[in-house]
Structure 1
């Protein structure tokens, strides 16, 4: 998302929140985005229809069974040709999908045009990709940019832990391989998935789970990265839901479950429930941004604004949490299985819980009405900007330029004029800590970063500097935990990957004097330090 001020100071938090809120499954949204699936498939009623059965097997990632079903069908039937093209796209044989739909009656339907457009985009994007296959773990990762291969160990580790947590929570039996494509820009993300480019820009989409794989934006595409490990887990949740329900889950369930699961693969973090989704929903209701759960449209990534996407994600997150906490253990996994076998979500809900969506919605809203109102920081958006924000942006940018020219004392004078309540913005907190460090007041810099509860959002540079300062004073436990968070959010910065100051004059290597692939990739990125852009 473009800004007219420095992305490193005041306002980056809003950008980061929009990204996470738009992790869509066409989105950490982003959001986290999109994380939105296509409209649910209609139940297959004609069991003699080979094309329909093959398509259902395809979305469930039962590829061998889908091939076997299509082998029984008339190869000249247009529906069979479309089903073959869909299967080829799911198996990442994009060129075959293009050729199958290149001419003839099969290419005329709306479904064929959609698959054909995505297949052509997929063929363009993947034409020069680098592919790494982890045969033992059943993971295939494509990289649009070879420099992103350094992310491989982090990606594989995330996939393995996410598959384990999703199998535990949702009862899904994972089909292999798990396919991931790391793209370099939003245009490629759009081409690979069919999500409109304009929608990706509006809601800050950074990943999409669709066509049997996850396409995720490289962290290098954002100036300070994003929570790409949680984002990947969010998207893998969408794949799990599609497999388990044969892609019949409604959007609210897809997104609500994905937001719940995106953090359950790891230990509880400082920002997992900050702010609570309920507080965001209540603010959204005040702003008239809330929508009925069954009226969210085809994708949260296609809502009209990042604020609307943020509220929608909060709604579905809160609702699914309420459903899980109000139901017997295992209700969620049973609901997913029921959706595979029924025509409507109400039927599946009634079968597993005894109540329809409308009845659950009444109970959830009554639950919301009883909650005490929680204050939301103005820095989170969803309302008027905090007082003095415009002036503070200008002072922060001036401080950056002064620091970049080795005038730390003068930079600090500018930052001293910024209201203290704006220090909840971690991008500003990081800038001030860097200025204090350059001024020789390392202790004050440490104090500023010591308690993440004082930040309104997780921010890779804050974690990296916190870890670097902790390492210097001999606090290895804090350093290790901080750098783990830094690499989960901003893995391709020198400060995160190499555990060294990004300031000129440093050697760009880790504290032990050695480099590793991630550090090497960060140094090759040539990302200029603050004020030296």
Structure 2
């Protein structure tokens, strides 16, 4: 059954406007069939805009039977095949379409985009699960597969049930192996990516992420997979009618739902950023968030926008749980404006809703940690693992860096107690907000068997920067030395969820599993280690 689709789009890549169909339309049929074909093509384009790809595919397949050589039919089919992830067929149909001059003027842009993407995706290997088609470059990113498919299947069930929408067709997920290819498929510039911290996107009927290999400590890529999957569900459920602030709010709120018994909450860095915004009365408006948070000019603004919309969804959830959020999405799907849907669900006008949320936000007792920062995103073609015990490159306070260097020299000489003195000076100069110094000092305490002090510092470091892989490795070392092998395995497994490309993690896990007599698990980690060091 066809829907009366809304015209507003979240992401649109329709390059042909059918108002300029030439008189010499190629269908060799009667006028009635000509009108049918034009109408079907227009409908197929609308299906693509509204993320009803299966319907668009059905339209394209029917048109191919009617007019297989018509350039406009070929162009629509080329678009559909691209959205389906069938790059070779897409290029074949688009190339046939470009023979028509009226299409060539605009269609070449899409052809070139698909062709450039195919230079990467043509090397992909794919793994099919019950609900996903996971693609990656085998020689670089095969280690991601087991982690990804387990997390995605968990996300499918928890998020699908939360939002009352379980998808049927396989969901395409692609891991892009370098910055250039991600820039191409995302249509973002490298500057926009690094300014906003964007490492993934839901676009063209697929979930797209960058490999965590491109960052020296990885990133929380499994949360990111779930986050983008939420976008995918919302797109499909609502015919792509949901505004960016609501999209991102729900995705941020749900991104850890692949983890069992997880309660959504803000990390300290974002809570502190929000406290600063309240203090300065500086907020990113819903209007400013449009069309994408990736387009904001400062990384802190992007992080603040994510934080704000998370609190919006939290506010909604506390007033009505998932049934309220579902009712808003269903209302938008059925043709209500976002303002009408929110007002109907919340029982107040949208203006009053926004005012009430902001007033409550300003009354919260938020923690402000002066100096805590949003860690930068730098995508590199080959990102070496950072040894935080040896590096001082990211210590921004000059005096703190000086003491850290001296501490490193003493530690290498085995003078752990003396090194601690210098690290403590660095720690005090930096104000307990440098994860590198926190880890250097903690490891010195560990080597000096001052385990309680090390654990205290590392727990603060983990709370401040939960994405910082080194802290998990340091904690793993601490618990291993204390004989708490199960806890050590738990924290190192969390590190694997951030950067599975760090061989130290797999080496230490293999050793710990072996100590516990878990030979199968130890064998798996040794296999992963060999993938990385071959």
The higher relative CO (CA closer than 8 Å, separation ≥ 6) is in: 1
Corresponding residue of 1:315: 308
Larger radius of gyration: 2
Structure 1 contact 470–478 (Cα < 8 Å) conserved = yes
Distance 1:467 1:276, change over 3 A: closer
Instruction: Give yes or no for the alignment of 1:327 onto 2:320.
Output: yes
Distance 1:329 1:141, change over 3 A: closer
Could you say what the CA RMSD is over the residues aligned between the two structures, in angstroms? 3.7
Q: How far 1:287 sits from its partner (Å)?
A: 5.1
Query: Aligned equivalents of 1:495 and 1:409: distance in 2?
Result: 25
Q: How far 1:453 sits from its partner (Å)?
A: 7.4
Corresponding residue of 1:29: none
Structure 1 contact 207–215 (Cα < 8 Å) conserved = yes
Determine which structure has the larger helix proportion and give its number.
2
Instruction: Give yes or no for the alignment of 1:216 onto 2:206.
Output: no
TM-score (norm: length of structure 2): 0.77
Corresponding residue of 1:127: 122
Distance 1:107 1:518, change over 3 A: farther
Distance 1:306 1:220, change over 3 A: same
1:286-435 paired onto structure 2 within 5 Å = 286=279, 290-327=283-320, 329-342=322-335, 344-380=337-373, 389-397=397-405, 399-400=407-408, 403=411, 408=416, 411-420=419-428, 422-435=431-444
Instruction: Give yes or no for the alignment of 1:106 onto 2:93.
Output: no
Distance 1:425 1:268, change over 3 A: farther
Q: For 1:457-482, what per-residue CA distance to the aligned partner results, in whole angstroms no more than 9, with x for missing partners?
A: 21222223323432443324422321
1:176-325 paired onto structure 2 within 5 Å = 176-267=169-260, 272-275=265-268, 280-284=273-277, 286=279, 290-325=283-318
Corresponding residue of 1:161: 154
Query: Aligned equivalents of 2:225 and 2:346: distance in 1?
Result: 30
1:54-65 paired onto structure 2 within 5 Å = 54-58=44-48, 62-65=52-55
Structure 1 contact 167–173 (Cα < 8 Å) conserved = yes
Q: How far 1:330 sits from its partner (Å)?
A: 0.8
Distance 1:495 1:269, change over 3 A: farther
Distance 1:296 1:379, change over 3 A: same
TM-score (norm: length of structure 1): 0.77
Structure 1 contact 500–508 (Cα < 8 Å) conserved = yes
Distance 1:270 1:138, change over 3 A: closer
Distance 1:351 1:288, change over 3 A: closer
Distance 1:234 1:493, change over 3 A: same
The farther-off stretch of 225-234 and 261-270 is 261-270
The secondary structure found in structure 2 opposite 1:419 is helix
The secondary structure found in structure 1 opposite 2:11 is coil
Query: Aligned equivalents of 2:224 and 2:464: distance in 1?
Result: 19
The secondary structure found in structure 2 opposite 1:231 is helix
Corresponding residue of 2:89: 96
Structure 1 contact 81–101 (Cα < 8 Å) conserved = yes
Q: How far 1:444 sits from its partner (Å)?
A: 5.2
Query: Aligned equivalents of 2:369 and 2:13: distance in 1?
Result: 35
Unaligned runs of 5+ in 1: 1-35, 502-506, 528-533
Corresponding residue of 1:38: 11
Corresponding residue of 1:478: 487
Q: How far 1:260 sits from its partner (Å)?
A: 0.2
Structure 2 contact 78–93 (Cα < 8 Å) conserved = yes
Query: Aligned equivalents of 1:197 and 1:260: distance in 2?
Result: 27
Query: Aligned equivalents of 1:352 and 1:200: distance in 2?
Result: 35
Distance 1:279 1:403, change over 3 A: closer
Q: For 1:254-278, what per-residue CA distance to the aligned partner results, in whole angstroms no more than 9, with x for missing partners?
A: 1100000002221466994233866
Corresponding residue of 1:70: 60
Unaligned runs of 5+ in 2: 1-8, 15-34, 376-394
Q: For 1:477-513, what per-residue CA distance to the aligned partner results, in whole angstroms no more than 9, with x for missing partners?
A: 4223212321112222123222269xxxxx9996568
The secondary structure found in structure 2 opposite 1:266 is coil
